[in-house]
Amino acid sequence: MRVLVVYNHPYQGSFCHAILSSVTQGLTRGGHQVDLINLDKDGFDPVLREKDLKAFITASKDLNAAYSLLDEQVLDYKSRLEQAEHLVFIFPIWWELMPALTKGFIDKVIFPGIAYDYISSGNGMVSRLPGLKGVTMITTMNTPSIAYRLLFGNAIKKALLMGTFWKIGIKNRHWMNLAMVKFSKESKRLKWLNNLEDKFKNLK
């Protein structure tokens, strides 16, 4: 499988980075092809500007005109997204949600003319990525899972998997949440990482 990993954490020594290593190693061992987008290292600009709004509106009429308004980086991500059969997000939960960089990736790359089109009869959406079969979101947090669910309604899952990727028609959507990371023991962390490696080795 061709897997595109979208990674977001500013610190090289973070647990997210260990997760990235395990995911990549698992995928490679399983014979999958891995392409890595490192939003921090790429210096991705997450701000959606007026020209991007113009592209948003233009996309349904003149695709090339719309593309000409987008960042080079966004067009690069577009071509890599078109190759992907599975998409993996890895990011920390900050204030109940993704960091700004990942939100900007969603705003600017899960975009009409790139990831989906609006259907002409109404307000629905249809995927432009026929090869993309699934999305896995891997998050870390210091909150207990149950508190995140009961108090904050699993906000990230609701937004990204019940919302965004459901809306554009991606059927297989998975969330793996590693909670209470700051308070977890070394043995627990190693178990998480081994499980992740196994899981991605056997990705279907």
Which of 146, 137, 138, 140 shows the shortest CA–CA distance to 182? 140
Instruction: State yes or no: residue 41 binds its own copies (CB under 8 A).
Output: no
Instruction: State yes or no: residue 160 binds its own copies (CB under 8 A).
Output: yes
Identified binder of its own copies from the candidate list 42, 52, 82, 85, rule CB under 8 A:
52
Which of 144, 117, 141, 140 shows the shortest CA–CA distance to 59? 117
CA distances from 168 to 20, 51, 100, 140, 197 (A): 26, 23, 21, 25, 28
Instruction: State yes or no: residue 164 binds its own copies (CB under 8 A).
Output: yes
Q: Compose the 82-121 pattern: x for residues touching its own copies by CB under 8 A, - for all others.
A: ------------xxxxxxxx-xx-xx--x-----------
Nearer to its own copies, 167 or 191 (CB): 167
Identified binder of its own copies from the candidate list 69, 75, 155, 176, rule CB under 8 A:
155
Which of 26, 173, 202, 17 shows the shortest CA–CA distance to 87? 173
Angle between helices 186-201 and 15-29 (to 10 degrees): 30
Q: Which residues bind its own copies (CB under 8 A)?
A: 10-12, 40, 46-50, 52-53, 94-101, 103-104, 106-107, 110, 123, 142, 151-156, 158-160, 162-164
